[in-house]
Amino acid sequence: MSRKITIALIFFLLLTPFISWYYLKSGLDWRKKAEAVMSGKQKFPELPFQNSISGKPLERSQLEYHVSLLVLVSCDNAASQQELAGTLYHQFKETHKANFLFFDTCSLGTFVLSDTLRENVYSLHCVDSLSSCNALLQDWPAGKNFALIDKTGTIRSYYTAGNHDEKKMLLEHMALLLPRDYSEKVELKRQGDNK
């Protein structure tokens, strides 16, 4: 056996599994770190959010199998919140597994999104429902503008999203909480099968 083949076999048998292990471990460490940040346990209260187009109320069942982004529309930085919410909306609208809930404390009206369908977009105006606003704002951390709600209706984390790093973290966490489709059936397809 030549020396090159021996070195190639050693490389393949020893170094490749180590590289794979390191890659998988770094992904697991990243996920654990993200899960530690998203450690919230507070249940999202039932509030009279309404669909921004049809006016139908948000039902509890519509939170299931969806990740929901709750946007606290504040009077001082509504434009930057609208920009980020629009970016995230366009990022996740094709999945049909993301809700966008606008919690309007300033009575500015509905956010303008470039998509006229605005699928899974809901809003709540504090002028219409003061007691509901107080219920949600009671535990809302100061200075935070966004909250992520998982598919079980639990508020997992709050975000300021004032700088690039926080926007990136919000995007990553939203993607991480996005429900996955799992297939129970495994199929073996062979070349030549036309089924």
pLDDT of 113 higher than 80:
no
> Please, are residues 72 and 140 in contact by the beta-carbon 8 Å criterion?
yes
Residue 182 resides in a domain = no
CATH code at position 82? 3.40.30.10
Report the domain count for the chain: 2
**CA dist., res. 160 & res. 40, Å (int):** 16
Specify whether 65 is located in the same domain as 100: yes
What is the DSSP pairing of strand 98-104 with strand 121-125?
parallel
Q: What are the pLDDT digits (tens) for 88-100?
A: 888 888 888 888 8
Q: Comparing 6-15, 155-164, 184-193, which segment has the lowest mean pLDDT?
A: 184-193
Give the pLDDT score at 183.
63
Give the pLDDT score at 192.
64
pLDDT-derived band at 115, boundaries 50, 70, 90: low
> Please, are residues 98 and 173 in contact by the beta-carbon 8 Å criterion?
no
pTM for this prediction: 0.74
- Give 90's contacts (C-beta < 8 A, 6+ positions apart): 114, 115
Number of other residues whose CB lies within 10 A of the CB of residue 159: 20
Residue 188 resides in a domain = no
Specify whether 64 is located in the same domain as 136: yes
- Structural domain harbouring 114: 42-177
Beta strands across the sheet bearing 146-149: 42-43, 154-159, 146-149, 67-73, 98-104, 121-125, 50-51
pLDDT-derived band at 34, boundaries 50, 70, 90: confident
Residue 189 resides in a domain = no
Specify whether 10 is located in the same domain as 65: no
> Please, are residues 62 and 151 in contact by the beta-carbon 8 Å criterion?
no
Specify whether 25 is located in the same domain as 56: no
Beta-sheet strands, E only, within the chain = 42-43, 50-51, 67-73, 98-104, 121-125, 146-149, 154-159
Residue 144 resides in a domain = yes
Residue 87 resides in a domain = yes
Specify whether 66 is located in the same domain as 83: yes
Residue 96 resides in a domain = yes
Q: Which residues in 50-72 are b (16+ Cβ under 10 Å) and which e?
A: bbbeeeeebeeebbeebbbbbbb
Specify whether 96 is located in the same domain as 23: no
Q: What is the mean pLDDT of the chain?
A: 80
Specify whether 81 is located in the same domain as 152: yes
Q: What are the pLDDT digits (tens) for 53-93?
A: 777 888 888 888 889 998 887 777 666 777 788 888 888 88
Specify whether 66 is located in the same domain as 1: no
Number of other residues whose CB lies within 10 A of the CB of residue 111: 20
Nearest to 74 by CA among 108, 123, 122: 108
